[in-house]
Amino acid sequence: MDNKGLEKLDQLLLKYGNDDSILSASELDGYFAAIVSGPRQIDPGLWYPHIWAEQLPKWTSEKEGERFTKLAVELMSEAAFMLDEEPDDYEAIFLADEQGKGEKLIVSQWCAGYLRGAQVAGWIEAELPEELEAALASISLHGSEEGVDALNAMSDDEYDASVATVEPAAVALYQYWQQHLEPVLPIRRDETKVGRNDPCTCGSGKKYKQCCMSK
């Protein structure tokens, strides 16, 4: 995704977000990295509302909602492709702090999004091998409030070294769960069936037949 697309995501997330929602493309990228890394496929009807902390946006226009959904799906697809097909070249979307000496990567938003995604995907509390626990801990250090004191106590070199572990940690977790995928079983749905012409449950503003029905 180019910078224009990322900037548009930033704008829409800030415009329609709230104090508890995802508010940047960096955070959304981390969120999707965890969603696609889990042992089971996550339906858009689950991951979409959690972007907004269950407070779905009231889009100014149907076109605006469609634009966001298209960009979000593109971002998620890119994360899945890089983690699966090009793990050695995987690059998360981090922020850069150019106010200090040189360029310093800021990974807290991405890591916070990753932890949210792992929670939504239902694997954040799963029992992991020791090396994978360490990988998740390196992300948690930067993405949770519990890590703030430890980060503040680090020297610049220590911080940079810690940041350098985040992307390899995401790759390692993805590869682990790909080896432990859960079988896809048919799900009995007792709730009312979504009609072809009903609004799609993902919140895009499109009709179901024009959106998630074909996925």
Place of tokens 């981090």: 94
Collapsed DSSP state (helix, strand, coil) of residue 55? coil
**Residue 116 structural domain:** 3-179
Give residue 203's region: left, alpha or beta (phi > 0; psi -120 to 50).
left
Report how many domains make up the chain: 1
Q: Does residue 95 belong to any structural domain of this protein? A: yes
**Average pLDDT per run of 10 along the chain, which is 215 residues long?**
94 96 97 96 94 94 95 97 96 80 79 97 94 97 95 93 97 96 58 66 69 65
Cα(124)–Cα(113) distance, integer angstroms: 12
Q: Does residue 61 belong to any structural domain of this protein? A: yes
Q: Does residue 190 belong to any structural domain of this protein? A: no
Q: Does residue 63 belong to any structural domain of this protein? A: yes
Confidence at residue 199, expressed as pLDDT on a 0 to 100 scale? 74
Provide the CATH number for the domain around residue 26.
1.20.120.740
pTM: 0.83
Q: List pLDDT tens digits, range 142-199.
A: 999 999 999 999 998 999 999 999 999 999 999 999 999 987 545 444 445 666 677 7
Q: Does residue 175 belong to any structural domain of this protein? A: yes
Q: Describe the chain by its helix, strand, coil percentages, rounded to 5.
A: 60, 5, 40
Whether the CA torsion 124, 15, 29, 55 is positive or negative: it is: positive
Q: Does residue 140 belong to any structural domain of this protein? A: yes
- Our measurement of the distance from residue 149's CA atom to the centroid of its chain's CA atoms, rounded to an integer in Å, reads 25
Q: Is 209 exposed, middle or buried (0-12, 13-18, 19+ CB in 10 A)?
A: middle
Q: Does residue 189 belong to any structural domain of this protein? A: no
Cα(135)–Cα(131) distance, integer angstroms: 6
